[in-house]
Amino acid sequence: MKAIKLSPTDNVATLLGDVEKHDAVEIISADNEVIAEIKALQKITFGNKIALGDIANGEHILKCGHSIGKSIVEIPLGQLVHVQNVRSERLDIPESIIEEIIKQMGIEQ
């Protein structure tokens, strides 16, 4: 499976299909060149983000060269980057909604 890194400064890539835990993920650039290969640490569905390296607690999550939030825990290389480990700086999502998203998506924690 492939994931696209949209900007050279990004620390996440967007999955272009579903991956299972331990699947290899080819990371491609916006120019469709393979730039890395990583192993998914958990099931990640199409359109979601995968960490391209270890992300420290409190670090900005960069997609398309822009911050889309901050990590609330350390996020290891290959892990799903979503509501279970990131908080938006623009939108305050209630904890009950975050818990429901985690439940409905079956996010492994």
Contact 89, 69 (CB under 8 A): yes
User: DSSP 3-state assignment of 99?
Assistant: helix
User: DSSP 3-state assignment of 6?
Assistant: coil
At 12, is the pLDDT very low, low, confident or very high (cuts 50, 70, 90)? very high
pLDDT tens-digit series, residues 41-67: 999 999 999 999 999 999 999 999 999
The reported pTM is 0.89
| Tokens representing residue 24 in the block | 């290899």
Q: Which domains does the chain have, with CATH numbers?
A: 2-105 (2.30.130.110)
- Residue 95 CA to residue 97 CA, distance in Å, equals 5
CB atoms within 10 A of CB 44: 28
Biggest distance spanned by C-alpha atoms of the chain = 40
